[in-house]
Structure 1
Amino acid sequence: MVMNIEGFKSILLTLLVVLSGVLTWNVWTFQPTYDTIETAPTVDVSIADERTNSELIKPSQFLVHGTENVRGTSSESEIDELLSTMYDWTFFSLRYNAALSDSDIKDLTHGQNRVEIIFPTSIPFSAYQNVFDFETSQIPDDVFDRVVIQLPQEGDVTFPVYFISYDTKQVYEARVDLDELPPLNDKIVSKAEEEYASYFPYSAGSEKTLYLPQGTTEVVQYKYYMNSISPQQFRDALFSDPNAVSVNSLNSTEDQYLHQSSLMRIDSSTNTLNYVNPSAAEFTTAGGPSELLQKSRRFVNDHAGWTDNYYLYRLDPSVQEVTYRLHVEGLPVFNDRGVPHLAQMDQKWGDTRIFKYDRSLLSLHFEVPSTTQTTLLMTGYDVIETLESSDSFEPDLLQDVTVGYYISKDSSNDFYTLEPMWFYLYNGNWKRVPIDGGDPVGLE
Structure 2
Amino acid sequence: MMKRMELLKSILLSLLVVLSLLLTWNVWSYQPASDLYDQSETTVENVAIAEERTTRDLIQPSRFLVHGEVAVSGTTDENNINTLNALMQEWNIYNVQQNNSFDEEEFKNIVHGSNRIEIIYPTGIPFSAYRDIVTFENSSLPEDTFDRVVVDVSGQEDTPFTVYFVHYDNRVVYEGRVDATHLDDLNSVIVSDAAAIYTPLFAYEAGDRTIYLPVERRQYSKYLYRMSTIDINLFRRALFQNPDAVELNQFGASRDQYFDQSSNLMEVDRNNNTLSYVNPSAELSTVGRAGELFQKSRRFVNEHEGWVDTYYLYDLDAMDQEVTFRMHEQGLPVFNDNSVAEIYQEWGETRIHQYTRSFLSKQIELSVDTDIVSLGSGYDAIEAIESIEDFNPDRLQDVTVGYYMTKDDSNNTYILDPVWYYKYNDSWARVPVIGGGDPVGLE
Bin the TM-score by the shorter chain.
0.7 to 0.9
Percent identity between the aligned chains?
A: 49
SS at match of 1:279: coil
CA positional deviation for 1:152: 2.9
**Aligned residue in 1 for 2:426:** 428
1:427–1:152 distance in 2 versus 1, CA, 3 Å? same
Asked which structure has the greater CA Rg, the reply is 1
Partner residue of 2:138 out of 136, 139, 153: 136
CA–CA distance in structure 1, aligned partners of residues 229 and 157 of structure 2: 59
Q: Does structure 2 retain, via aligned residues, the 8 Å contact 1:222–1:371?
A: no
CA positional deviation for 1:345: 0.7
Please say if 1:98 is aligned against 2:100.
Answer: yes
Q: Does structure 2 retain, via aligned residues, the 8 Å contact 1:433–1:440?
A: no
CA positional deviation for 1:411: 2.9
CA positional deviation for 1:156: 5.3
CA positional deviation for 1:335: 1.1
Q: Deviations over 1:11-36 (max 9, x none)?
A: xxxxxxxxxxxxxxxxxxxxxxxxxx
**Aligned residue in 2 for 1:327:** 328
Q: Does structure 1 retain, via aligned residues, the 8 Å contact 2:46–2:303?
A: no
Please say if 1:296 is aligned against 2:269.
Answer: no
Partner residue of 2:275 out of 268, 273, 276: 273
In the alignment, residue 118 of structure 1 is paired with which amino acid?
I
CA–CA distance in structure 1, aligned partners of residues 205 and 113 of structure 2: 15
Q: Does structure 1 retain, via aligned residues, the 8 Å contact 2:153–2:187?
A: no
**Greater shift after overlay, 179-188 or 150-159?**
150-159
CA–CA distance in structure 2, aligned partners of residues 305 and 175 of structure 1: 38
Q: Deviations over 1:37-82 (max 9, x none)?
A: xxxxx95411111111111000000000000100100001100100
SS at match of 1:280: coil
**Aligned residue in 2 for 1:211:** 212
In the alignment, residue 352 of structure 2 is paired with which amino acid?
I
CA–CA distance in structure 2, aligned partners of residues 137 and 440 of structure 1: 53
**Aligned residue in 1 for 2:399:** 401
Q: Does structure 1 retain, via aligned residues, the 8 Å contact 2:421–2:430?
A: yes
CA positional deviation for 1:281: 4.5
**Aligned residue in 2 for 1:307:** 308
1:346–1:412 distance in 2 versus 1, CA, 3 Å? closer
**Aligned residue in 2 for 1:26:** none
SS at match of 2:222: strand
In the alignment, residue 273 of structure 1 is paired with which amino acid?
L
CA–CA distance in structure 1, aligned partners of residues 411 and 246 of structure 2: 32
Q: Does structure 2 retain, via aligned residues, the 8 Å contact 1:91–1:175?
A: yes
**Aligned residue in 2 for 1:380:** 378
Please say if 1:232 is aligned against 2:233.
Answer: yes
CA–CA distance in structure 2, aligned partners of residues 225 and 187 of structure 1: 37
SS at match of 1:278: coil
CA–CA distance in structure 2, aligned partners of residues 218 and 361 of structure 1: 31
CA–CA distance in structure 2, aligned partners of residues 54 and 437 of structure 1: 43
In the alignment, residue 354 of structure 2 is paired with which amino acid?
K
CA–CA distance in structure 2, aligned partners of residues 281 and 360 of structure 1: 25
**Greater shift after overlay, 417-426 or 432-441?**
432-441
**Aligned residue in 2 for 1:81:** 83
CA positional deviation for 1:371: 4.5
- Calculate the TM-score normalised by the size of structure 2: 0.86
Q: Does structure 2 retain, via aligned residues, the 8 Å contact 1:219–1:375?
A: yes
**Aligned residue in 2 for 1:414:** 412
CA positional deviation for 1:391: 3.0
**Aligned residue in 2 for 1:47:** 49
CA positional deviation for 1:215: 0.6
Q: Deviations over 1:115-134 (max 9, x none)?
A: 00000000000001122111
CA positional deviation for 1:293: 0.6
Q: Does structure 2 retain, via aligned residues, the 8 Å contact 1:116–1:146?
A: yes
CA–CA distance in structure 1, aligned partners of residues 267 and 281 of structure 2: 17
Query: How many residues are aligned here?
Result: 395
CA–CA distance in structure 2, aligned partners of residues 187 and 106 of structure 1: 25
CA–CA distance in structure 2, aligned partners of residues 434 and 86 of structure 1: 38
SS at match of 2:70: coil
SS at match of 2:281: helix
1:43–1:280 distance in 2 versus 1, CA, 3 Å? closer
CA–CA distance in structure 2, aligned partners of residues 424 and 155 of structure 1: 39
- Calculate the TM-score normalised by the size of structure 1: 0.86
**Aligned residue in 2 for 1:245:** 246
In the alignment, residue 383 of structure 2 is paired with which amino acid?
E
CA–CA distance in structure 2, aligned partners of residues 174 and 428 of structure 1: 30
CA–CA distance in structure 1, aligned partners of residues 200 and 417 of structure 2: 23
CA–CA distance in structure 1, aligned partners of residues 95 and 225 of structure 2: 48
Q: Does structure 2 retain, via aligned residues, the 8 Å contact 1:386–1:437?
A: no
Q: Does structure 2 retain, via aligned residues, the 8 Å contact 1:222–1:372?
A: no
CA–CA distance in structure 2, aligned partners of residues 432 and 281 of structure 1: 35
CA–CA distance in structure 1, aligned partners of residues 55 and 435 of structure 2: 41
CA–CA distance in structure 1, aligned partners of residues 143 and 290 of structure 2: 9
Q: Does structure 1 retain, via aligned residues, the 8 Å contact 2:223–2:368?
A: no
CA positional deviation for 1:330: 0.9
CA–CA distance in structure 2, aligned partners of residues 391 and 271 of structure 1: 34
SS at match of 2:170: coil
CA positional deviation for 1:217: 1.5
Q: Deviations over 1:394-433 (max 9, x none)?
A: 1011111110100011135321100000000111211101
In the alignment, residue 58 of structure 2 is paired with which amino acid?
L
CA positional deviation for 1:372: 5.9
In the alignment, residue 168 of structure 1 is paired with which amino acid?
N
